[in-house]
Amino acid sequence: MGSIDMPTTAENNSSPTPTATADGGLHPGESNGTLGDESNVSKKRRGGMLPLEVGTRVMCRWRDGKYHPVKVIERRKLPSAGANDYEYYVHYTEFNRRLDEWVKLEQLDLDSVETVVDEKVEDKVTSLKMTRHQKRKIDETHVEGHEELDAASLREHEEFTKVKNIATIELGRYEIETWYFSPFPPEYNDCVKLYFCEFCLNFMKRKEQLQRHMRKCDLKHPPGDEIYRSGTLSMFEVDGKKNKVYGQNLCYLAKLFLDHKTLYYDVDLFLFYVLCECDDRGCHMVGYFSKEKHSEESYNLACILTLPPYQRKGYGKFLIAFSYELSKKEGKVGTPERPLSDLGLLSYRGYWTRVLLDILKKHKGNISIKELSDMTAIKAEDILTTLQTLELIQYRKGQHVICADPKVLDRHLKAAGRGGLEVDVSKLIWTPYKEQN
């Protein structure tokens, strides 16, 4: 996270200032101050290509100080500026969409401009008139993997969600840069930053509003039942039907960090499991997962998120493990809702690998995939895929046979990394939802 320091540029008719590249030379196309004619020609050429069109590909200086290829996604005119004074919303083609951002003209190498504009972008959102119903439909569509969308709907989704609407949020003691678009109500369209109450998740436009709210808000933890506490960690189960506003606010918040999350306005059908770090000030959310109350596809997890300040601390692995402990309590096998995000797939593959190989290392004699499924609550298909990926399974005489050489298992376990925080099952006090009614 962090901002990019912008260099000052020459204005009016002064000579352009040379810019050093990573190798110590001058930036391509920049004058050293001695070639006046070439500089004037370059100025005229650049002036003719400005402002850059949406869809233009160009090199852009990123926060690492190096130039990377980008594609212009959107542009907006700077207030009180000249005819060609715009800033540009760009996608770094080498990186995930979460790093898309607004940049100044000074960060772009205009001599690297590719003038070909993508056909897909020519139908840009500024000319795409959508009704409120169409926007809501796009918000509710799950697009990861593109299985559920036809080409037209996919284009609409990409166009409508291509620019981050909220740049930063304040949540508890953290200010967090957002990653993706989230469809907040229209009255928040002009907000660059939102302020969240970390306990009830109500959000406001101004810091003063949050301060007034905190003096009145009597919540010190998520509005649900505490079903797990071990040390300073607590897990709360929040019923979307009983706490609808909290559930919806949690979805708005999560969408800022999940590219292809389905945004459900009807949260009644879901349970939210909110993980918190607790201290004398209250229980502070670090992440959550949700699950359908009744899933015909045996899904034990619909959505999972660890907030950025708490990532790389083992909480994501903990949330996955917790979802399977609930499945064991239910006496069911479970699997995450598909399709998985890129980070989600990596996390699950790591979890499945560690759990299955730990059993195979300790187990003496033959063991079947069904037995592994019964022991772990992992769906048989996920076990099969994981073992095939690790090349630990063969197909012999009409059935799958697990080949578990101890040295190979150790190598795969080392590659899978540490398991993260352990779920202490003895601290879990929980009744499956169907038994609560």
What is the structure's pLDDT at 43? Answer: 57
Q: How far is CA 171 from CA 98, 130, 195, 299, 336, in A?
A: 19, 32, 7, 30, 28
Mean pLDDT of 38-67: 78
- Looking at per-residue confidence, does 360 or 8 come out higher? 360
Give the percent of the chain with pLDDT over 90: 55
> Model pTM?
0.73
Give the percent of the chain with pLDDT over 70: 76
In this structure, the number of other CB atoms found within 10 A of the CB of residue 19 comes to: 16
Sequence letter at residue 217: C
- For 80-102, what is each residue's pLDDT tens digit? 767 778 999 999 999 888 888 88
Active-site pick, 101, 198, 292, 337: 337
In this structure, the number of other CB atoms found within 10 A of the CB of residue 387 comes to: 24
Average pLDDT, whole number, for the chain? 81
pLDDT at 169 over 80: yes
What is the structure's pLDDT at 260? Answer: 67
Concerning whether 74 is annotated as a catalytic residue, the answer is no
Ordered strands of the 108-114 beta sheet: 101-103, 86-92, 67-77, 57-61, 108-114
9-13, 62-66, 311-315, 366-370: lowest mean pLDDT where?
A: 9-13
What is the structure's pLDDT at 151? Answer: 58
d(CA 168, CA 160) in angstroms, rounded, equals: 19
- For 112-125, what is each residue's pLDDT tens digit? 998 655 444 444 33
d(CA 255, CA 236) in angstroms, rounded, equals: 20
- For 185-218, what is each residue's pLDDT tens digit? 999 988 989 999 999 999 999 999 999 999 999 9
Burial (CB count <10 Å: 0-12, 13-18, 19+), residue 131: exposed
- Looking at per-residue confidence, does 407 or 43 come out higher? 407
81-85, 249-253, 271-275: lowest mean pLDDT where?
A: 81-85
Q: Please enumerate in sequence order all residues whose Cβ is within 8 A of that of 278, keeping only pairs 6 or more positions apart, or say none.
A: 221, 229, 232, 233, 234, 284
Backbone Cα Rg of the chain: 26
